[in-house]
Amino acid sequence: MSQPPRAPGHWPLVGHTVSFLRSPLSTLDRWGQTDAPVVSASVAGRQVVVVTDPRVARQVLVDASEEYQKAEILRERLGTLQGGSLVLLEGDAWRDRRSVVGSAFTADRVSTVDSVTAAYADGELADWPTDATVDLQATARDLTLAVLARALFGLDLRGGDTPIHAAADDVLARLRLDSPSTYLPEWVPTPTNRRFRRAVATLHARLDETVERQRRSDGSHDGHRARDDHDDHSDRGLLGTLVAAGLPTETIRDELIAFLFAGFDSTATALSCTLGLLAAHPRRQSSLAAAVDRSVGDRSLADASPIDCEPLDAVVRESLRLYPPQYLLFREPLSDVSLGGAQVTAGTPVVLAPWLYHRDSRFWDDPETFRPQRWLDGRDGRGSAADDEDGDGTAEGRGVDGGGPGLAGDDRPTAAYVPYGVGPRSCIGRRMADRMLRTAVAAVCRRYRLTPVDELTVAGGPTLALDGGVSVRVQPRE
């Protein structure tokens, strides 16, 4: 069996490092244009296998998921920050922790994020200057961090200027794929590494205090809470659930950090991109605002929870298709495997690329175009311009495909749409993220009309990120 073919753009000595550091997304696009379902690449001296075909990606994520584990590169990058978290566990330890953590993300518990998002969004939007410019990225980051901190572990981080905000920025700076420090050991004294270590220390200290305060409040002792066995903790967030489970402080802290960063950066990007796309498509924005009005009526967004508005669902799905925050996923095989007709040796990092799968013209008509209508009228997301009543993707429709949240139709691979991953290790907080997005987008559309000031562009970081931010002009809706 042959080795995977080399990805295009290889340079002598440095491999694909220069092009990938300069522009991860355009490099991925170039690799995705090959006919091979898997290609090999060399980045920063490390050989990786990149899966370019979603049909092969399903093998890794679903069909043979037990033959793979999270790649070592993730443990290297995240170990200091959140080494004891669910994200990095494997085997029985992962299954046990997933069961505990999953109890904090049941439908009933996740529904409480609606009222928090609605209240915090109203406060944030009240401060927007009318007929002036707003930085969507800054607003989205402040809002999502505040909502997650409150919903997950009861901290009030509103205001956008706390030690956790500063620490989050420094942590994310080191995780950027276009940062040389990402590929160096943490002990190398670059400015980015020094700030990263200080940020980790700040996060650990702050969250350890938070865990211990919750433990004292619960009446727990030495990690075990004295409680009524019939108490189901239905009003608890993630912190309360983990404390009640008797996990050590360090383990709880690692889980809080993992969920904070997994949700904060990616959800902020998704919200920024969705609002930026609506600003750039005024007729779609106007149609969505009218649909939200019909769905919510005179009620507050919190009282209307969950918001039953299919055009809103379609807009969010289409935004996540074009700009999946988790645009790369990392696995490695536990033993030698056959993947896409090529041999991949045990321990080789395997890179899955939702960025490519969501824009694959074999499975999506006009894949570069923002067209929410493709998700309506009972279709599976294929859609085309001819399907839109007004040529702008705003026609109303009934029903969304019965295959789940934007997953494949009969002729499209499941992994062609994976904004939250797929398979046993898909994102456990996806329902919370979806509800946050829908509530925040609805809050903006009910109150303001957005017009673009600059073009929406994105870049590859630890998650997808806005490239320089995106600004809009806001005016009250009449």
Domain ranges of the chain: 17-476
Q: What is the pLDDT of residue 339?
A: 96
DSSP 390-442: TSSS--------TTSSS---TTS-GGGS-BTB-STTS-TTHHHHHHHHHHHHH
Q: At what angle do helices 249-280 and 191-218 cross, to 10 degrees?
A: 110
State the amino acid at position 335 in one-letter form. Answer: S
CATH code of domain 17-476 = 1.10.630.10
DSSP character for 380?
A: -
Q: Which amino acid is at 242?
A: L
Mean pLDDT by 10 residues, the chain (478 residues): 91 90 92 95 93 97 96 79 84 94 87 90 89 89 89 77 70 68 73 83 86 80 43 61 91 87 86 97 97 93 87 97 96 96 96 97 95 81 45 34 38 93 93 94 96 92 84 91
Residue among 358, 116, 146, 401 at smallest CA distance from 264: 146
Q: Specify the DSSP class assigned to residue 5.
A: P
Length of the chain equals: 478
Instruction: State pLDDT tens for residues 45-71.
Output: 899 999 999 999 999 999 999 999 998
Tabulate helix, strand, coil % of the chain (nearest 5). Answer: 50, 10, 40
Who's near 173: CB < 8 A, 6+ residues apart?
179, 192, 195, 196
